[in-house]
Amino acid sequence: MQVLTEMQDGYVSGQQISDRLGVSRTAVWKHMEDLRKEGYVIEAIPRKGYQLKTRPETLSEAEIKAGLSTKSIGQTTFFKSKVTSTQTLAKKAYREGTPHGTAIVASEQTGGRGRMERPWQSPEQTSVSVSIVVKPDISIREAPQLTLVTAVAAAEALEQTTQLPVQIKWPNDIYINNRKVSGILTEMQAEADKMQMMIVGIGLNINQKQAQFPEELQEKATSLYVESEKEWPRAHILQALFISFEKWYDTWIENGFDYIRETWEKYAALYERPVKAVQGNTTVVGHMLGINREGVLQLKDQQGKVHLIYSGDLE
Residue set of the binding site for biotin? 109, 113-115, 180
Closest CB to ligand BTN among residues 28, 238: 238
Closest CB to ligand BTN among residues 60, 121: 121
Closest CB to ligand BTN among residues 55, 113: 113
In the bound complex, what is the minimum distance in angstroms from residue 207's beta carbon to ligand BTN? 16
* Cα–Cα distance, 268 to 272 (Å, whole number): 10
List alpha helices for 38-144, DSSP H.
61-65, 86-95
Binding residues: 109, 113-115, 180
Q: Whose CA is closest to 182, among 256, 129, 131, 125?
A: 129
Q: Answer positive or negative: Cα dihedral of 266, 271, 276, 279.
A: positive
**Residue 242 corresponds to which amino acid?**
F
In the bound complex, what is the minimum distance in angstroms from residue 215's beta carbon to ligand BTN? 18
In the bound complex, what is the minimum distance in angstroms from residue 28's beta carbon to ligand BTN? 36
Q: Answer positive or negative: Cα dihedral of 95, 101, 102, 103.
A: positive
Residue number with the smallest Cβ distance to ligand BTN: 183
Binding site for ligand BTN (CB under 6 A): 85-87, 109, 112-115, 118, 120, 122, 129-131, 172-173, 183-185, 201-203
Q: Are 164 and 308 in contact (CB under 8 A)?
A: no
Closest CB to ligand BTN among residues 52, 104: 104
In the bound complex, what is the minimum distance in angstroms from residue 301's beta carbon to ligand BTN? 26
In the bound complex, what is the minimum distance in angstroms from residue 29's beta carbon to ligand BTN? 38
Q: Are 175 and 203 in contact (CB under 8 A)?
A: no
Closest CB to ligand BTN among residues 101, 201: 201
Beta sheet of 274-279, edge-to-edge order: 306-309, 297-300, 282-291, 274-279, 313-314
H or E element, residue 297: strand 297-300
